[in-house]
Chains A and B, each alone.
Chain A
Amino acid sequence: MFRIDADRARFREIVRGRIRSDLSKYLSTPELIARQGEHAVSVPVPQIELPQFCFGANEKGGVGQGPGERGEEFEGEGDGQEGTGAAGEGDGQHILEVDVELDELAEMLGRELALPRIEPRGKRQLVSDSARYSDISNSGPDSLRHFRRSYRQALRRTIAAGEWDPAAPRVAPIREDFRYRARRIVPAPESSAVVIHMMDVSGSMGREQKEIVRIEAFWIDTWLRSQYENLEVVYIVHDASAKVVDHDSFFHLRESGGTKISSAYELCLQLIREKHRPEDWNIYPFHYSDGDNWSARDTEKCITLLRQEILPCVNQFCYGQVKSAYGSGQFKKDLDGALGSDERVVTSSVAERGDIHNAIRAFLGKGR
């Protein structure tokens, strides 16, 4: 369509304005996360209504049609829909879903929190092959047959063979004449980043703590995805030992054992060495816990690992402490004490959802 697209664009602009002004609300709820598709989130917004004189709340009834005794309940479509022709009946808010591209959401986030853009480090440019069907080949499947090129070839052969008769311009292609569309491989530079989310899933991390981590991780991923052409996300859970898990397990797994943070950092380091080499990747480890560790010795080990092995490889290391009923919060103090002056380290502490806002700003505010 033509004009309607302009009107839709205007409507979406108005809706985006509303989402933008409500963004701090979305920053503290998981509302958008469940609605994430590959490239967009679908945001539920109330239909924008122009006020008009209409019938009010004492008018829920109407005329219906069908079987049923007096007093018999029925399910059905929402109130007032075509009810008995009374327009505007029923005051239920009509909800519309509007797709917002993840890039756009990131842009809103960036504006809301005044985030600087990230300069990808050094020569972190992967060259990847992207393929487009812009080539022609002598063989291929029928579905890719290029009619015009095939015809041209047949015509050319017919003329060359002296069989062309302008009075009866007939061209009969033979097998050799057929041409097919083919892939052409185009090298494309690409900047890549990997986010390594690590979380303590020992008993003291409860549902609410994990929910906070989930919201933080969503916004972090959204922002980083907008800054790099290619973003990979890896999840590590740990209690006394660590393992790599998928997205769902990450937020739902619950273990009961103790907490040995160094296990996660070791696994993180192993991943960096084996799969996400710093020459090719911008690396972002995030670690979330309630601040308890098994022993001071293990904390010591974590700090050594960070200082000597991890920090030299990564863009930034972030530690997000989520307050729980059991956590002492000691780990953040130890990190701050040992590495607080290192600009590659960011720590934050979240006591409730309202603080998520500040944690995200702290993590992403350096533009690293």
Chain B
Amino acid sequence: MQPARRSRSPLSAELAHWAERIEAVARSYGLSFHPVEFELLDARAVNGLAAYGGFPVRYPSWRFGMEFERLEKGYQWGLSKIYELVINNDPVVAYLVRSNSLPEQKLVMAHVFGHADFFRNNCWFASTERRMLDAMAQHATLVRRRIDSQGLDTVERFLDLALSLENLIDPYLPLRRKLASGAQVAGAPAPAAGDGPTFDVLGFLCERAPLAEWQREILTLVRDEAYYFQPQRMTKIMNEGWASYWHSRILTGGVLDGSEIVDFADCHSGATATAPGRLNPYKLGIELFRCAERRGEDLMRLRRVHDDASFVDELLDEEFVASQKMFLYARNPRSGKREVSERDAAKVKARLLADLSWGGLPRIELAGVDAGGALHLVHHHDGRDLQLAKARETLARVGGLWGGPAVLDTREDGVGRRLRWRAGELKVEDLDTPIAQSAS
């Protein structure tokens, strides 16, 4: 097993002093976290780590290389720059970019303590693997070993197949298990026994698909990593909002000296800037927490019990939509441009909740295995169609992994469709009885 590398580049004395100071201030406000270790790296190294999702050691994959290529180009062209990178682990590991100025480093450090508190205290993270640095390194070793025995092409092809299905998990399963048993188990939940129905399609395939041992290992590690990253996907707005709320409070509460205030404001407003066609999670998140604060709510409780969807559901009202100038947009079919279509708070909220639910992904459930041995998937349609071309390709991959026929029921333009994959061939049938539309 490869040990994960840590603290190869410790902080300068000055930064270390500020890290300590900021940590003390954060604790005095009631934040709590696993130990935080900072590393100081140059931009290229940070881009490399970011391509790996923050982890120094991941299994080999061209996808990480592609992401690195993208980040490097963005950095070289001055389009994007990563300020900070933090991983949910015990200890929490955070990277600072060497070229940042001191006020920027202070901001990032305070921000990191906000994330660290969120990782530790938000209920969705309760069962995440906290030794993920080690787990990732083990996954890497395992994949490398399989490459040695099976060959790069074979393993790469299977890994790509598995990664196509990485979203087919049940985001609520870890919490449900915990509530049912009362016990807290770190890591991905054990797959359920039986023929379904289940949203944990990956878990089902790990248990039941006719795979070689090395394939099962790889599928299992893809599933483990998917469950590890899922809470971050479901709490993006809260997590960034919380970290931004605290960096702002901590820094303006005495950590900055007068000469740094303008630099701080510049950096903070850059991070929370809005553009018409996108929602900035930093901005939306911090505004929601400030709104809750004004209403006298218990912020610590809110950050513990919510994910993005329930948080928005609890706080977003007419006043908030108006003050934040939120709107719905749609593409004008004639001009092809996007335009403001609606400012009605209820509609904005409904759309936002739809986008946030289920981690922003389509809900695909495994109904079971039918009499002909076909794996039967059902898309719970909420008004938004699947992209059918991709759905066909993905279904073929499901079938490939299952080693038999696979079926997906969905809807297209209001009409029920059944995609059927069998022996390398994909057919689309109309469904006579439309699938019941499920509320999300």
Contact = CB atoms under 8 A, between A and B. Distances in A.
Interface of A: 1-4, 6-14, 47-48, 50-77, 79, 81-88, 91, 96-98
Nearest to B398: A53
Given A53-B364, A55-B385, A56-B391, 5 more contacts: A11-B66, A48-B66, A56-B384, A59-B385, A70-B342
A65 B327 contact: yes
A70 to B, nearest CB: 5
Contacts, number: 223
Contacts of A86: 355, 360
Most chain B CB neighbours (cut-off 10 Å) among A10, A76, A85? A85
Most chain A CB neighbours (cut-off 10 Å) among B63, B326, B332, B360? B360
B68 interface: yes
Interface of B: 44-45, 48, 51-52, 57-58, 60-66, 68-70, 73, 160, 163-168, 233, 236-237, 274-281, 283-284, 308, 324-332, 335, 337-343, 348, 351-352, 355-356, 359-362, 364, 379, 384-388, 390-391, 393-394, 397, 413
Given A7-B65, A77-B275, A96-B70, A65 B324 contact: yes
A288 to B, nearest CB: 36
A323 B385 CA distance: 51
Most chain B CB neighbours (cut-off 10 Å) among A63, A65, A71? A63
**What are the 5 A-B residue pairs with the smallest beta carbon separation, nearest first?**
A76-B277, A56-B387, A11-B65, A7-B65, A1-B48
A81 B278 contact: yes
Contacts of A51: 164, 390, 393-394, 397
B276 A74 contact: yes
B330 A61 contact: yes
A76 B278 contact: yes
A85 B360 contact: yes
A71 B328 CA distance: 10
Contact of B277 (A1, A57, A77): A77
B65 A53 contact: no
B355 A62 contact: yes
Given A53-B362, A74-B277, A4 B52 contact: yes
Contacts of A7: 51, 60-65, 68
B379 A53 contact: yes
Given A3-B58, A6-B60, A64-B277, A71 B340 contact: yes
Contacts of B279: 62-65, 82-85
Contact of B278 (A50, A61, A83, A87): A83
27 contacts: A1-B45, A4-B51, A7-B62, A11-B69, A14-B62, A53-B362, A55-B362, A56-B386, A56-B390, A57-B387, A59-B385, A61-B329, A61-B330, A61-B338, A62-B328, A66-B275, A66-B325, A70-B341, A71-B341, A79-B277, A85-B281, A85-B308, A85-B360, A87-B359, A87-B361, A97-B73, A98-B69
Contacts of A67: 325
Contacts of A6: 60, 65
A73 B394 contact: no
Given A4-B52, A10-B60, A84 B325 contact: no
Contact of B338 (A3, A69, A73, A98): A73
Nearest to B363: A53
Contact of A85 (B326, B356, B362, B379): B356
Nearest to A2: B48
Nearest to B46: A1
B75 to A, nearest CB: 13
A56 B385 contact: yes
